Structure 1
Amino acid sequence: MRQIKKGWRLKGEEGMQFAADVVEAYKTASIRRICEETGRSYGAIHRLLSTSGATMRPRGYHRPATAASADAS
């Protein structure tokens, strides 16, 4: 995921692509991790996810262990 300079606003096609990238990243990463990778604030990423229609996970969400990770231990 690319870094966005502080104060830059993404518009048009560039903004839509960034939003799609963030929504895709949120499937496997936390909002805080996306913030670190992009240089955007927590509020900016949260707002972008909310307005993009992403299904938000509850606070403190821990993904259930998959069968593959259970076998590895």
Structure 2
Amino acid sequence: MSKGKWITGTARERLAETMKEQYLQGRSIRAIAEDHGRSYGFVHRVLTEAGVSLRSRGGDTRDGSRLSDPSADTTIGARGASRSGLPASR
């Protein structure tokens, strides 16, 4: 599908279903846009038209594993503290 070409009717419906499946599997709008040679805005609009509930910014956090195990996050930030705000052990 060439970039900038208008997609209407059943072709748009099929494309919307494909993009919806990819998005619900955890792919980002940006990744879907790149795969299909379309803009971020086009994919966002198609997903919205298809009734998809869009995730908030920051990616797919559906499994919640990072939130359920506070000891799992031991990343040290630029100021020497972990993301939890507690002093990092060195």
Q: TM-score, normalised by structure 1?
A: 0.76
Aligned to 1:24, the other structure's residue is in SS state helix
Structure in which a larger fraction of residues adopt helix: 1
Q: Over aligned residue pairs, what C-alpha RMSD do you find?
A: 1.5
8 A Cα contact 2:4 2:38, kept in partner: no
Tell which structure's C-alpha radius of gyration is larger.
2
Q: 2:17 aligns with which of 20, 24, 29?
A: 20
Report what 2:43 is aligned to: 45
* 2-structure distance, mates of 1:10, 1:40: 11
**Runs of 4+ that moved beyond 3 A:** none
State how many pairs are aligned. Answer: 63
Higher relative contact order (CA 8 A, sep 6+): 1
Task: State the Cα deviation string for residues 4-47 of structure 1 (Å, max 9, x = none).
Answer: 20121111111110011111110120001101100000001011
* 2-structure distance, mates of 1:8, 1:55: 26
Report what 2:52 is aligned to: 54
Q: TM-score, normalised by structure 2?
A: 0.63
Give me the identity figure in percent: 37
